[in-house]
Amino acid sequence: MNIVVEFFLVTFKVLWAFVLAAARWLVRPKEKSVAGQVCLITGAGSGLGRLFALEFARRRALLVLWDINTQSNEETAGMVRHIYRDLEAADAAALQAGNGEEEILPPCNLQVFTYTCDVGKRENVYLTAERVRKEVGEVSVLVNNAGVVSGHHLLECPDELIERTMMVNCHAHFWTTKAFLPTMLEINHGHIVTVASSLGLFSTAGVEDYCASKFGVVGFHESLSHELKAAEKDGIKTTLVCPYLVDTGMFRGCRIRKEIEPFLPPLKPDYCVKQAMKAILTDQPMICTPRLMYIVTFMKSILPFEAVVCMYRFLGADKCMYPFIAQRKQATNNNEAKNGI
């Protein structure tokens, strides 16, 4: 094709992509069904991972829950089973009422499986993935959610904690994707969800290891998405989730300027997950919550660095992590004193 003609064709496609994106804001696309599909969630024992599990359970997905904490993972599974029982009771009531218009899944299809897995350890991931394939089946929806934070300034952070942060927050995405992507490629069907952070799009002081891990996983996700497009595997969808500070306790103590905080408070976990679910079920490639994060990311990309620093100082975002780090340090000292160290 003549390069001039191709250039105008590409220009038209770019403009059309803007039109489609605008249309999604005005008319919400229909959500797809995940009923009966195997959905694996890492870090399912608490926080966003637990809420993702409950949301997928309400949509009748077969759940595979991974967490390093066996007890909390089983607690999540118990909540999921409670939702399944409610769904089965509703199905039975619908059958008795003679309502055959809606598709009703048999009770045996609603199952949840739990596995204790340290996603920061490659061998553990591969071994657990093999168990899942044998005991449950192939995974259709992979939600890479597990994450940790060290809570130390760079020069005070032990090397082991830096490595741990990188392994869990970034490297684990490589291992889980390598474990489950091959079958998705074979059948050209699946969905990979990367739960990152707004700190994977722009950074702040005091959490160098966390920001590096989230920037890394955003790069991994974007490259993977391009690779799937290049391979013309349009049946495999990807969604990048980049929320602002979420009130899960992970960054307890983090504060921006008090005059600004009422306009940009920490996100409620339920709201964050519900927004992410809307994006996942409509095959939206990326979601930033709140939408203000899109603007912040754009401004960071075009403004001079000193201008960004001025904005950070005005918002109180330059040292917003310092109270959190101080609380972590105090808690560590209290634990050491309690243990007689």
213 annotated to bind ligand:
no
How many residues appear in the chain?
A: 341
Q: How many Cβ atoms sit within 10 Å of the Cβ of residue 191?
A: 22
Active site members: 210
The dihedrals phi and psi of 236, each to the nearest 5 degrees, come to -105, 115
190 annotated to bind ligand:
no
State the Cα–Cα distance between residues 208 and 127, nearest whole angstrom: 31
340 annotated to bind ligand:
no
Of the candidates 285, 284, 290, 228, the one whose C-alpha atom is nearest the C-alpha of residue 264 is 290
57 annotated to bind ligand:
yes
DSSP code per residue over 208-233: HHHHHHHHHHHHHHHHHHHHHHHTT-
48 annotated to bind ligand:
yes
44 annotated to bind ligand:
yes
264 annotated to bind ligand:
no
59 annotated to bind ligand:
yes
User: 312-325: string of b/e by CB count within 10 Å (b at 16+)?
Assistant: beebebbebbbebb
324 annotated to bind ligand:
no
41 annotated to bind ligand:
yes
146 annotated to bind ligand:
no
172 annotated to bind ligand:
no
225 annotated to bind ligand:
no
**DSSP character at residue 285:** S
Tell me if residue 309 falls in helix, strand or coil: helix
Pairing of strands 62-67, 112-116: parallel
257 annotated to bind ligand:
no
197 annotated to bind ligand:
yes
HEC string of 78-117?
Answer: HHHHHHHHHHHHHHHHHHHCCCCCCCCCCHHHCCEEEEEC
The dihedrals phi and psi of 112, each to the nearest 5 degrees, come to -130, 135
53 annotated to bind ligand:
yes
77 annotated to bind ligand:
no
83 half-sphere exposure, CB direction, 13 A CA radius: 22
The dihedrals phi and psi of 288, each to the nearest 5 degrees, come to -110, 130
Of the candidates 325, 328, 35, the one whose C-alpha atom is nearest the C-alpha of residue 153 is 325
Q: Where is the binding site, in residues?
A: 40-64, 197
| Residues of each annotated binding site for NADP(+) | 40-64
Q: Residue positions in the annotated binding site for substrate? A: 197
